[in-house]
Amino acid sequence: DGGITQSPKYLFRKEGQNVTLSCEQNLNHDAMYWYRQDPGQGLRLIYYSQIVNDFQKGDIAEGYSVSREKKESFPLTVTSAQKNPTAFYLCASQSRGGSAGETQYFGPGTRLLVL
């Protein structure tokens, strides 16, 4: 069953703590993305990766870090430098042409809450 998985579904962060959100895909997509969604707002791009071992900052990268050691995995770390981390985090992967064009497909999301 192909798709994108994100874990955990809910995550609680304490003051000064780094937390890592998991994103895995088995769609054989090269490109992967992390977005942040705040209530009533559109999606904002945090980081993206076009290929293994390479990634670029998006529009709101401050306080976040990523790695891309495997094609299937693109974990996001929310560091203590991110002062307002409460949000819904979405991971996506993108096909490159073919019948699906350049469509991005999304995972189910992780809701991060601050204790």
Partner 1 sequence: EDQVTQSPEALRLQEGESSSLNCSYTVSGLRGLFWYRQDPGKGPEFLFTLYSAGEEKEKERLKATLTKKESFLHITAPKPEDSATYLCAVLSGAAGNKLTFGGGTRVLVKP
49-63-102 Cα angle (round to 5): 25
Nearer to partner 1, 45 or 114 (CB): 45
Q: In this structure, are residues 8 and 20 in contact, taking their beta carbons and an 8 Å threshold?
A: no
Nearer to partner 1, 82 or 94 (CB): 94
Residues numbered 60 to 99 that lie near partner 1 (CB under 8 A) are 88, 90, 94
CA terminus-to-terminus distance, the chain:
35
Please tell me the distance from the alpha carbon of residue 12 to that of residue 19, in angstroms, as a whole number.
9
Q: What are phi and psi of 22, to 5 degrees?
A: -95, 145
CB of residue 45 to partner 1, shortest distance in Å: 6
Residues numbered 28 to 47 that lie near partner 1 (CB under 8 A) are 31, 33, 40-45
CB of residue 43 to partner 1, shortest distance in Å: 5
Residues forming the site for partner 1 (CB under 8 A): 4, 6, 31, 33, 40-45, 48, 50, 58, 88, 90, 94, 101-109, 111
